[in-house]
Structure 1
Amino acid sequence: MNWTDKISGCFGESDLIFAGHPNDEQRAFDLLVYLRKEKMGWGKVRAEFEAFLDSEMANEEHKERQLAKVEVGYRSWLLD
Structure 2
Amino acid sequence: MSWRNKIGTCFGMVDKKFALHPSDAKSAALLLNEASQEGVGFEEFCNELKNWMINQECTAEHINEQMIRIEDLSSYFQYD
**TM-score (normalizing by structure 1):** 0.84
- 4+ long deviations beyond 4 Å: none
Q: Deviations over 1:6-44 (max 9, x none)?
A: 110000000011001111111001111212222311221
1:77 equivalent in structure 2: none
The alpha-carbon deviation at position 52 of structure 1 amounts to 0.3
1:28 lines up with 2:28 in the alignment: yes
1:67 equivalent in structure 2: 67
2:47 equivalent in structure 1: 47
Q: How far apart in 1 are the matches of 2:33 and 2:47?
A: 18
Q: Deviations over 1:40-77 (max 9, x none)?
A: 11221111111100011110111011011101128xxx
Q: Percent identity?
A: 31
Q: How far apart in 2 are the matches of 1:68 and 1:5?
A: 22
Greater displacement, 50-59 / 65-74: 65-74
Instruction: Identify unmatched segments of 5+ residues in structure 2.
Output: 75-80
Instruction: Identify unmatched segments of 5+ residues in structure 1.
Output: 75-80
How many residue pairs match? The answer is 74
Q: How far apart in 2 are the matches of 1:5 and 1:37?
A: 15
RMSD: 1.4
